Amino acid sequence: MIEVREIGWWYWLATTLLLAVSFAGIGPALPLALALTGVQAVHFGFRDRSPVAFPVQVRIAYLGLLALGLWPPLRWVHAVQLVGTSAMVLAGYCLLARLLSLMPWNRRQPLTPRLVAVTLFSRPVKGSILGAGFQHEATAAGP
């Protein structure tokens, strides 16, 4: 679900645009995307009063992927991020968040093929995927 009234959606829109501009070879867009993602992580850490809150985990993982993509053999990671972030902005589907929700510290149920399928193929929902009724029981604050 698209949440244009949420600051997070605007952060992701700006990040998507910066990645697109980076692929066009215009200016310092990639360093700006890295900085913006870092700002997001700090912002959500303060907002949620936890450095391990789920929104912070997503942003730290995204920042890590941005950093990995700086190494030329892994530049393709940025293309995957552009596609994924575009899907988040346009349809509300965040594959990274769904994959993170399957990590042991974000779930209380055993990892099963059914849980993976439900997590990956369910429709986007409003709010955090961790709180979604179709999803597994987990704590939003992490460990």
Q: What's the first-to-final CA gap in the chain, in angstroms?
A: 27
- Other residues' Cβ atoms within 10 Å of the Cβ of residue 1: 10
Q: Is 98 in contact with 125 (CB distance < 8 Å)?
A: no
pLDDT at 140: 35
Residue pair 36/14 in contact (Cβ under 8 Å)? The answer is yes
> Which portions of the chain are predicted below pLDDT 70?
1, 125-143
Q: What is the pLDDT of residue 73?
A: 97
Q: What is the pLDDT of residue 123?
A: 85
pLDDT at 127: 54
* Spans of all domains in the chain: 7-131
Residue 12's Cα: distance from chain center in Å? 9
Whole-angstrom distance, CA of residue 139 vs CA of residue 57: 12
